[in-house]
Structure 1
Amino acid sequence: MKDALQCDCTKYAPGIEILSVRVTKPIIPERIRRNYEQMEEERTKVLISIERQKVVEKESETQKKMAIHEAEKTATVSNILREQKLKEKENAMELQEIENQMFIAHKKCLADADFYSAMKEAEANKIKLTPEFLELKFIEAIANNTKIFFGHKVPDMVLDQRLLVGNFLENVSQQVHGERQMKSDDNA
């Protein structure tokens, strides 16, 4: 304060030198002092309420940001879990499809093997079932028969059966020879 006064005095009133400055405490009437204190108190309360309002706004803003962040995190986790389950289902479906194809291929192989076996057995039977072989089987069947018949018509019965079977064998023999003849004609 002294320097400020000296600066002004040097400028406007040269020759005046300020040696010291003394400030005394003014005596303020009690009524003005109380009024001033009340105003200061009110101003402080207003400033405190404004600061509280700013703090509440910041807290609500922070809570809002945290809620948004938490919701985004939950949504991201949910999407990841859903994609994981979807991938697991797709993998299980692909695995099941492969197992189904393997099962179908296995069944086809078994069916082809059964068909091939049946065809070969049919071819073998065509070759094997000659009239002589059928007659041999007929004789073996009669020989294995454990029933014994007594009476004078038994030999006739066996011969009659044999004649019937013989006629059947002749028809089969003619069919087999006819087929063989057609195959040989086709090959030639």
Structure 2
Amino acid sequence: MDPSQDSAAPPSPPAQSGGSFGIPARLAFASIVIIASLAVVPSCWYTRSSLSILHQVPEGHVGVYWKGGALLKTITGPGFHLKMPLVTQNEPVLVTLQTDQVRDIPCGTKGGVMINFEKIERLNKLKKEYVYETLLSYGVNYDNTWIYDKIHHEINQFCSSHSLQQVYIDVFDQIDEKMKDALQCDCTKYAPGIEILSVRVTKPIIPERIRRNYEQMEEERTKVLISI
């Protein structure tokens, strides 16, 4: 046997392409990076609405969207939704009943006495079918224009046309309905998507000296009724 004829050398193993990680490992690594990038997005509204891909609309709200500052007609319901990051911004808008308070409303009566309404509560609702029209005309803070500012205006108008006796005693029980009707009248005309359900006005704070006089008058009247 010729010693020069050696047995065939074993075949070398095939080279692995793509470095030390295979395709499944790359896919897993990419998935981890995507999930981590979504999890570490800061919680501020602008950053979240600008950078995130997945967003959530809570129950009782609808999702509204802006692209380049322009309000889109797209309205989404509660749940998870996808959008284009860095291009589209979103914000949830409440479309169920909401109760808000307007505090510290000073006004002057017909006789020139300054009084202060410490708190006025109102119950209102934004109709879902009018979300786009309302936000397009008045923005996300539509209630500042048609509720907060309007309550200040209507209360001052009411006080300026009535005396202290009327505001504090005689027609105080009518202020709730008058405020509700005045707010709803303008909303129906200019912002039909806003529905005013009720308004509750607390007793105004009047000067201490005048308040004591009213209390004394009430005590005297009670004594007369008891004696009769």
Which of the five TM-score ranges fits, normalised by the shorter chain? Answer: under 0.3
Higher relative CO (Cα under 8 Å, sequence separation at least 6) belongs to 2
Asked which structure has the greater CA Rg, the reply is 1
- TM-score, normalising length: structure 1: 0.23
> Of Structure 1 and Structure 2, which has the larger fraction of its residues in strand?
2
> Of Structure 1 and Structure 2, which has the larger fraction of its residues in helix?
1
